[in-house]
């Protein structure tokens, strides 16, 4: 099972769909990530090699996803509430 950004990706899904299980990654960003890593987007998650998973992790590291993104969103909401602009 591929574990990326603290999320276990579903094994039976295609790569482009599997990456969308990570908070902050949609289809467009998923397509960009797989293209940067040099992986076919139709390839199933279960057939990814460890090297391919490592390349995906490296590319995803350049983006704000999961915990970082959730924290930033919460801070933005709190800031807007503090200034009364929500």
pTM (2 d.p.): 0.84
Give residue-wise pLDDT tens across range 12-68.
Answer: 999 999 999 999 999 999 999 999 999 999 999 999 999 999 999 999 999 999 989
Assess whether pLDDT exceeds 90 at residue 86. no
- Fill in the DSSP letter of residue 19: G
């Amino acid at each position: 099972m591929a574990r990326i950004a603290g999320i276990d990706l579903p094994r039976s899904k295609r790569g482009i769909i599997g990456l969308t299980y990570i908070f902050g990654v949609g289809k467009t960003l998923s397509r960009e990530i797989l293209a940067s890593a040099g992986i076919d987007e139709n390839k199933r998650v279960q057939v990814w090699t460890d090297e391919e998973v490592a390349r995906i992790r490296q590319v995803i590291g350049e983006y704000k996803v999961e915990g970082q993104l959730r924290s930033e969103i919460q801070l933005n909401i709190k800031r807007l509430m503090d200034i009364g602009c929500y």
